[in-house]
């Protein structure tokens, strides 16, 4: 079932991209309102304003968005003097995890500033020719004030019971893996200036993709799909262990993670689901036989980079739709896992674990999975933080709770006032 899309744009867009001097920290350029971000290791894209947008929901949300974007790009008048991925016409987007959730959107900013491999540029987008703006930092954001955290509708003890129920279903043969999520509710005294947690996340997790679209923000370690000039890449993460801060101990933990039958089983399901979804679109693929251990400041993950060469004209958004939900965020088999999530999870995921990223006029782009994330709600004084864990037959509820707490740390710390 699909709801009618809501479109905000008039007439063909006029787009101009031009090189600029290095603007410094990209996130420091963002204004307090209407900000958009996708940064990684200091490079990426930031934007503000709304030249056009589409809001949609339902089972056809990806198809409607792809059709809208194709039409918008086809009629746009573009002058691109930079010609790198991310210059020219671009849209930022985020999509709800399930068909029945609201919140899916594509947003075309009025201004985009990008940097890639030492090349910086500005793009202006509108209904007519626009002069290039003066690009400079906007000033320090307002730090969160009076942050307090509380369990969401499902407390920690109850959530462990849900994990135990999922294990029982798996042992009974109903499915192989299911990902169960939980949330934490943060309240602040004044409406959140999302630029503050964004800057902290980007600084602490430079190897992740720090994002913001419509109040949904975070720093995801998982690249759902990158499409660039016919080459496609997907980073699969499944299997997690918390770091201790002791390098010697953490190396031993990394070794145990790489040998863990429970985590390797969970990881295999996730890799297989991505490879199977990409195969119809690719002439050739490389799927490594064994994962590597990805070290992040708070956790370590089993990781596999799946790569391929495109055989068709599918866009990055189309590929993201075909991959969602992967076993890394849903489970295996997909239909049975999603049904169990809807039956027992007791959580409105919204955009959590849905695709988030950007797309260019050519169809190239980057879409991550909305993990290590949070949604600003209401008047801006409430923020919901999310974390999920892959449950398989060997899962232990207390261990999964500990893993979920570790995954909440990045955003929790980013919302905690600095002293």
Catalytic residues: 177, 222
Q: Give the H/E segment covering residue 198.
A: helix 195-204
- Tokens representing residue 366 in the block: 């980057």
Selection from 311, 307, 317 nearest residue 234 by Cα: 307
One-letter-per-residue 3-state SS of 209-273: EEEEECCEEEEECCEEEEEECCEEEEEEEEEEEECCCCHHHHHHHHHHHHHCHHHHHHHHHHHHH
> Do strands 77-80 and 14-20 pair parallel, antiparallel, or not at all (unpaired)?
parallel
> Do strands 119-126 and 35-40 pair parallel, antiparallel, or not at all (unpaired)?
unpaired
Q: Which residues pair with 56 in a beta bridge?
A: 104
Q: What's the rounded Cα separation, in Å, for the pair 345 and 76?
A: 43
Angle at 98 between CA 93 and CA 99, to 5 degrees: 90
Q: Which residues pair with 87 in a beta bridge?
A: 85
Selection from 204, 211, 391, 385 nearest residue 299 by Cα: 204
Selection from 324, 320, 285 nearest residue 304 by Cα: 285
- Tokens representing residue 98 in the block: 């399930």
């Amino acid at each position: 079932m699909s709801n009618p899309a809501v479109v905000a744009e008039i007439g063909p867009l006029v787009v101009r991209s031009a090189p600029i001097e290095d603007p410094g920290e990209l996130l420091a350029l963002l204004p307090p309102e209407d900000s958009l971000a996708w940064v990684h290791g200091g490079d990426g894209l930031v934007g503000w304003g709304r030249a056009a947008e589409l809001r949609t929901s339902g089972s056809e949300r990806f198809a409607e968005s792809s059709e809208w974007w194709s039409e918008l790009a086809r009629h746009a008048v573009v002058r691109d003097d930079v010609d790198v991925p991310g210059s020219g016409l671009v849209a930022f987007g985020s999509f709800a995890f399930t068909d029945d959730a609201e919140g899916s959107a594509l947003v075309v900013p009025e201004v985009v500033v990008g940097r890639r491999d030492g090349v910086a540029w500005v793009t202006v987008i509108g209904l007519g020719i626009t002069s290039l703006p003066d690009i400079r930092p906007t000033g320090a954001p307002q730090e969160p004030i009076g942050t307090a955290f509380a369990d969401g509708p499902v407390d920690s003890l109850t959530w462990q019971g849900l994990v135990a129920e999922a294990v029982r279903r798996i042992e009974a043969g109903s499915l192989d893996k299911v990902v169960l999520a939980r949330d934490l509710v943060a309240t602040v005294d004044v409406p959140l200036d999302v630029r503050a947690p964004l800057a902290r996340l980007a600084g602490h997790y430079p190897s992740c993709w720090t994002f913001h679209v419509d109040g949904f923000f975070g720093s995801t370690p998982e690249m759902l799909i990158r499409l660039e000039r016919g080459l496609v890449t997907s980073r699969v993460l499944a299997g997690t262990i918390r770091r201790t801060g002791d390098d010697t101990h953490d190396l031993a933990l990394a070794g145990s993670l790489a040998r863990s039958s429970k985590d390797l089983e969970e990881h295999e399901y996730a890799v297989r689901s991505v490879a199977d979804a990409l195969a119809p679109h690719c002439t050739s693929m490389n799927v490594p036989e064994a994962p590597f251990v990805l070290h992040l400041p708070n956790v370590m993950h089993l990781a596999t980079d799946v790569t391929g060469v495109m055989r068709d004209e599918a866009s990055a958004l189309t590929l993201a739709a075909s991959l969602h939900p992967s076993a890394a965020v849903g489970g295996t088999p997909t239909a049975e896992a999603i049904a169990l999530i809807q039956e027992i999870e007791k959580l409105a995921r919204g955009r959590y674990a849905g695709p988030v990223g950007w797309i260019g006029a050519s169809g190239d782009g980057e879409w991550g999975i909305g993990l290590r994330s949070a949604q600003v709600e209401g008047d801006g004084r409430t923020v919901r933080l999310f974390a999920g864990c892959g449950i398989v037959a060997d899962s232990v509820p207390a261990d999964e709770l500990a893993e979920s707490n570790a995954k909440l740390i990045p955003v929790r710390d980013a919302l905690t006032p600095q002293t």
